[in-house]
Amino acid sequence: MDPNAVDAVLQEAVARGAVPNAVVVAADRDGPVLESAAGSRVAGGDEPVGAGTHFRIMSMTKMVATVAALQQVEQGTLRLDAPVEEYCPEFAGLQVLDGFDGDVPRLRPPATKATVHQLLTHTAGLGYWFFDADLLRWETVTGTPNVLSGSNVIFGAPLLADPGTRFEYGINTDWVGKVVEAASGLGFDVAVKEGVTGPLGMDDTSFAPSAEHRANCVPVHMRAPDGSWQPSELDLHPEPEYYAGGHGLYSTPRDYLRFQRALLGDGELDGARILRPETVDAAFTNQIGELDFPAAITTADPGSTADFCVGPGHKWGYGLMLNTEDLPGRRRAGSGAWAGLCNTHFWVDRTTGITAAVYTQTLPFVAPDVHQVYVDVETALYASL
């Protein structure tokens, strides 16, 4: 890999204002091979970002939570084909949102019971407000906050489709956290610490960052009216009622790379095994059958996300979006990837033996100029292989 090429991409992106800052880390099967960074932790400041800076990794939490669940499967305490309500009886009360009569939500029972497998594959019918206008309307008319509130009330949100009928990205992995707690008998934060971050030596990754870690965290930046980047006060709830398997972790690029390397290493890193090789294989295998990851998802909340357009040919494994064909000049077919709402992105390419991640901290998600930096970084990395 050519670190100078990646440095050039990041420096140029920050200089032209595409992002306020950016960090890239990469590794192969032998270990870390690249750390690159540009910009300041706070736009306009003089403290540089780096691979040891903290970020809200948001939905990159999902793969960690997925591993915690798969560990319970390996231990025999959790069945993927079991109804979710077997572990979380309250799930049985969820209904499908079937439109509105005026401002009154129209609800009906689901045709089938959602399974744990469907939670892990986003086929249980649960959604997010920023990708579904009906759910956003339901939250508005019922006065229910979204998942970023940290409140347990979010677990009353309805399904948007019958289980198993379509891929619907949503709060499934927050429910997975509840399932892991029931299966393991541990708090979800403890299950993650004992099963994943502890064994991998990820000491800078947690649901409840210390004061020192918070002071080292990049604020969420948004565009000012003049187009410049301005830091905001947006943050996750400091004392949530539940630890969010869908979005709750803070980490550093260097720390999370250890997790990526464990996936690249068939579930093992530096003698610590977090999953069996066959379980990792399953995570990188299509788990949604004939269903597809949508080629394009239209935003329902432009302040949170732009349209998310990955194109055709994508499936979902366990916690990972899978491309079924090579991306020209980029990752190979069968790679697993995902991202976080504040524009953190990672991928694991087991064909070439490369894993990498790109971090900034901005909203909205996948704004075209921000997302292009991710594409440019990946292209620069693969150009020098």
- Where do the domains of the chain lie? 3-383
Quick check: is 169 catalytic? yes
Give me the average pLDDT of each 10-residue run along the chain (385 residues): 90 98 98 98 97 98 98 98 98 98 97 98 98 98 95 98 98 98 98 98 98 98 97 96 98 98 98 98 98 98 98 97 97 98 98 98 98 98 90
Q: Report the CATH fold assignment for 3-383.
A: Beta-lactamase (3.40.710)
**8 Å CB contact between 370 and 18:** yes
Is 335 considered catalytic here?
A: no
> Quick check: bond before 368 cis, omega within 30?
no
261, 355 in Cβ contact below 8 A? yes
List all residues 6 or more positions away from 113 whose beta carbon is below 8 Å from its beta carbon: 83, 84, 85, 92, 163
For this structure, is 243 an active site residue? no
3-state class of 98 per DSSP? strand
Confidence at residue 384, expressed as pLDDT on a 0 to 100 scale: 83
What tokens appear for 236 in the block?
């996750």
Quickly tell me which residue has 């409840």 as its tokens.
208
Active-site pick, 62, 178, 193, 315 = 62
Given the residues 87, 128, 169, 243, select the one marked as catalytic: 169
> CB 146: neighbour CB atoms within 10 A?
17
Nearest CA-CA partner of 363 in 229, 250, 256: 229
Find the angle CA(8)-CA(231)-CA(47) to the nearest 5 degrees. 55
List 59, 184, 206, 251, catalytic entry: 59
What pLDDT, on the 0 to 100 scale, is given for residue 2?
Answer: 77
Q: Determine how many CB atoms are found less than 10 A away from the CB of residue 93.
A: 10
- Token pair for 144: 């229910």
Contact in structure between 68 and 180 (CB atoms under 8 Å) = yes
Query: What are the counts of helices (DSSP H) followed by strands (DSSP E) for the chain?
Result: 10, 17
Q: Residue 3: what pLDDT?
A: 82
Please name the residue that has the structure tokens 């990672």.
346
With vertex at residue 297, the alpha carbon angle to CA 21 and CA 362, rounded to the nearest 5 degrees, is: 15
